[in-house]
Structure 1
Amino acid sequence: MQRANEALQTQVTELTHGKTDHQGSDRHTTTTVVNFQPFSQEIAEEEIPEHVKTLALDSYSGSSDPKEHLVYFNTRMVIAGVNDAVKCKLLPSTFRKSAMTWFTTLPPGSNADFTEFSTRFLSHFSTSRSVQATITAFLTVIQRENESIKSYMTRFNELSVYLEDSVPSVCVAAFKNGLREGRLNGNLKRHQETSMVEIRARARSYILEEEDNRQKQKRDGTTSLKGATHLGPASKFNQAKTNRPGPYQARLSTRPSAPKPLKVVNAAEASKETGTAGMNATCGGTMLNAPVSDILKEATCL
């Protein structure tokens, strides 16, 4: 019996200690939640205007675009006419699920203004949301036929902005993979860029070259070079210039024809055709194709 009582006493003691430890853990959690204050004292003491307390705002759970939510929220705050301190206190009221979990992990007093708070919010959810989605989307971003480097770069940047800081090597590899063959592609193969900043710097001269070529194609009415298909057909004026014969063709077309052979006639026929009478065979009737002696004799008659 004594042994049974001792065993029972031991179990009671263990249960009592376990309950005490659990109560201590709950007390610590409760204290942490009650004392949670991630804003500076100045923001914490800012009062929320009455007309804003009833304002209906869309929620954010962390699964959608944080930039889109921030733009929406800030627009509503501008319309409501509130200051940055109130914005800091109202933005967390839109958080749900993972967004709220993230907010509760912020260090006490770590946010002193709305710019700092919103930047931290964007940085966290832009990266966490977009890593896998962007890597998958990268595989579909390929430079189209006749698409300029500038256009391709613009489309690519819309996705790479979420990953450039976290996984720069993935961005570089994806850009090279989607680039069509050409001078820039060959240049990138000869170098080992490690960031999109280096890629953009190397591509800048090629973009300027394309732009210059495109302007000259537009001026000359040609669209034969790559990346100039959007310029449209050449104007009628330029088409007329293109259809004009070249210098060699012009020289051929203006070359004089061979001279016609002189018609040999005698003096009688010449007098009959010109209507001149009394001109004898020795004076006034000699033709240019007569013998030289006759021509000299005609000259002495004059």
Structure 2
Amino acid sequence: MYNGRTDPVEHISHFNQRMAVHSKNEALTYKVFLSSLGLVAMRLFDGVGAGSIDSFKELTRAFRSHFITCSRVPRPLDSLLFMSMQERETLKMYSDRYWEMFNEINRDFDDMALRTFKVSLPAKHDLRKSLTKKPVRSMRRLMDRIEKYKQVEEDQQQEKGKAKVIP
């Protein structure tokens, strides 16, 4: 249900995915789309005169233009360049923050992400040393390497916790 505050393009995209099997039936798609609108959005179309919108494409265009101020603005690529791992931040915390930012960039910049992730780690970090000695060439391989180092970090933290408990 569209509430009038979220990205209209995302709503249309999600709606189209759900309605893919019915995409040939434009009348049904039109009616179901209207039923996916909350009260705020419905008011917009209540005032539209009969026959003023001739197609589902026109309907979604009107919807997008009316709720344009709710559109999500993608972050610029250089947002990744200003990220760095903070003191006392775990690799898990940093990588979660990094990938959240990366996913907000609406372009294919995997190569840049591979480089910026590495250089934003502290120079003495074991993962950075590993990525320098043996660079990865794909996002999947980077994610796999990060997972290995996160596990090592977690194991080390557990060992420290055990060492403190033993008298």
Alignment of 1:50-199 (within 5 A): 52=35, 55-57=39-41, 92-96=61-65, 129-130=73-74, 133-163=75-105, 166-180=108-122, 181-199=124-142
Greater relative contact order (CA < 8 Å, ≥ 6 in sequence) = 2
TM-score, length of structure 2 as denominator length: 0.60
Equivalents in 2 of 1:171, 1:164: separation in Å?
13
CA pair 212-145 structure 1, distance change in 2 beyond 3 A: same
Equivalents in 2 of 1:196, 1:215: separation in Å?
28
In structure 2, give the amino acid aligned to 1:136. D
Alignment of 1:262-301 (within 5 A): none
Gaps of 5+ in 1: 1-38, 59-86, 100-124, 222-237, 242-302
Aligned residues: 126
CA contact (8 A) 1:134 1:160 kept: no
> Is 1:220 matched up with 2:158?
no
CA contact (8 A) 1:168 1:194 kept: no
> Residue 7 of structure 2 aligns with which residue?
none
Equivalents in 1 of 2:157, 2:103: separation in Å?
28
CA contact (8 A) 2:102 2:113 kept: yes
Gaps of 5+ in 2: 1-21, 43-55
In structure 2, give the amino acid aligned to 1:169. D
Regions of 4+ moved over 6 Å: 87-90
Give the greater-gyration-radius structure (CA). Answer: 1
SS at match of 1:143: coil
RMSD (CA atoms):
3.6
The share of aligned pairs that are identical, in percent, is 18
Equivalents in 2 of 1:207, 1:197: separation in Å?
15
> Residue 27 of structure 2 aligns with which residue?
45
Note the C-alpha offset of 1:57: 2.2
CA pair 57-164 structure 1, distance change in 2 beyond 3 A: closer
Equivalents in 2 of 1:151, 1:178: separation in Å?
14
